[in-house]
Amino acid sequence: MPAEKAALNPGQHEWPRDRDDYVQGPASAQFSLSDNLALPDLTDDPDRLYFDRYIEQLRDARKETDGGRWKQGDVACEIETRYGERDLQKAAEAADISYGTLRRYRWVSIQFPESVRRRTLSFSHHEAVAARDDRLKWLARAEAGGWTKRQLLDELAAADDYQPKARELLLEGRSNPSKIAVNQAADVLRAAHREPDRFGDLVEKITRNGRATGARRELGRRETWHGLNEVPPPVGRYQTVVADPPWLYAARQDDESNCAASPYPMQTVPEIIETIRALDVLADDCFFWLWSTNLALGEGRHLQIFDALGLTFSGSIITWCKADKDGKPSLGVGERIRGASEHIILATRGRVTLGARDVPSWFTTPRGRHSEKPDEFYTLVETVSPGPWIDLYARRRRSGLWAVWGNEVGFIPAEQAAARPYASARSPQETMT
């Protein structure tokens, strides 16, 4: 791209001047986008009329194979530089690309300007070494040796000497650790070497029980939720907040056959409290709907959260009875009895106005994908408590009335302001204090 097209308006974000902090290459190496992207020049376009062109570029790049990821990363860099992080998130949604994935591609593109990319190696090769200070050296070795990505990863592990250490660590607790267990332990050792204060205790956990599964799972949980700091925070406060936190369970965390193991990282109660408090989304007068499993409810975890956030338990609990396609109970896992329900506990703060009073304490709908909550619940909430509404720990966007926030979707504001206090036509009938 010609130099004049890379110029930024005064006041816009500039790329770091010390590119050597990102790439160990020639000092003259500058970030530049591929000429074949043909991105529009928006220097004199305050109304951003060409924003859709970027979305088209992202959609087109998705259809390509390995080179498409470079293009997505380059376009993401351009969007964030010219418009900012929130518009990057909007572009990802419009192009039907995971926001987290697009951010990852953007980060890899920043680490490797076009002048240092190895065309004979895949994007995955570059991503594997992007966080390393000696990344260019490893790319050169991989190119000279014709390594696949797996061979590159094996060479990295061998050079760092984590595999032998991991095996030795596991041999203290078992006679013949599997390759999977060795890889899991190596991941933990690598993270502990990088950040001992955050992950050092996980090595001690492996030493105590000779198992790596639970420590590796905890490592992924900490890394993912640490990444929530990069998700744009919600804007403003909300009179109705729904939260579906990923409850952490200590039981059988080291058992690889545990069918109840969560497919995503989980949070302890203090971490849930810290997350919600940091988001600062609860209005002074608000409703708080907290999803809970049977075990979390029985242990009273909700009471710790309510107390920390200045909320009062309303005395109301709604139960979702999960059904299959024939209307029969849809059985899940459980400690003694197979679970077929989840609960929503209602708490309030300040003076709140209640809408509908004829809502029963249970409802039944078919079960969706793991952790997905039914639309019928959100319709129920709209009839009981006033907007604006926000869904925390969301896994997908909701109707235009709802803002959503979560590590999978980022923050998506409501498309429509809540022009009326309730989504239903009911008028407020009761005030609770």
Residue 400 CA to residue 395 CA, distance in Å, equals: 16
For residue 371, what is the DSSP state? T
If one looks up domain 236-432 in CATH, what number appears?
3.40.50
For residue 334, what is the DSSP state? -
Given a contact cutoff of 8 angstroms between Cβ atoms, the answer to whether 318 and 341 are in contact is: no
What residues contact residue 56 under an 8 Å CB cut-off, 6+ apart? none
Environment class of residue 150 by beta-carbon count within 10 Å: exposed (0-12), middle (13-18) or buried (19+)?
exposed
Strands (DSSP E) along 293-409, which ranges?
Answer: 312-323, 341-349, 352-354, 362-366, 389-392, 402-406
Q: What pLDDT is attached to residue 133?
A: 80
CA neighbor of 381 nearest in space, from 238, 237, 272 = 238
Q: What pLDDT is attached to residue 267?
A: 86
Q: What pLDDT is attached to residue 421?
A: 37
Q: What pLDDT is attached to residue 287?
A: 95
What residues contact residue 125 under an 8 Å CB cut-off, 6+ apart? 118, 139, 142, 147, 149, 152
Amino acid in the structure at residue 311:
L
Residue 373 CA to residue 361 CA, distance in Å, equals: 16
Q: What pLDDT is attached to residue 26?
A: 37
Domain boundaries, the chain: 3-117, 161-226, 236-432
Q: What pLDDT is attached to residue 332?
A: 66
- This prediction has a pTM of 0.49
Per-residue pLDDT of the chain (433 residues; tens, 9 = 90+): 444 444 444 333 343 334 333 333 333 333 344 444 444 454 455 445 577 888 888 988 888 776 689 999 999 998 888 888 888 888 888 888 888 888 889 989 999 998 899 989 999 899 888 877 888 989 999 999 999 988 888 788 777 668 777 877 887 766 577 888 888 888 888 888 878 888 888 888 888 878 888 888 788 767 765 554 455 556 678 999 999 998 886 654 444 444 444 545 678 899 999 999 988 999 999 999 999 988 899 899 999 999 999 999 999 999 998 887 777 776 666 666 777 788 999 999 998 877 777 788 888 888 766 567 888 899 899 888 888 899 998 877 776 788 988 877 788 888 643 333 333 322 223 333 3
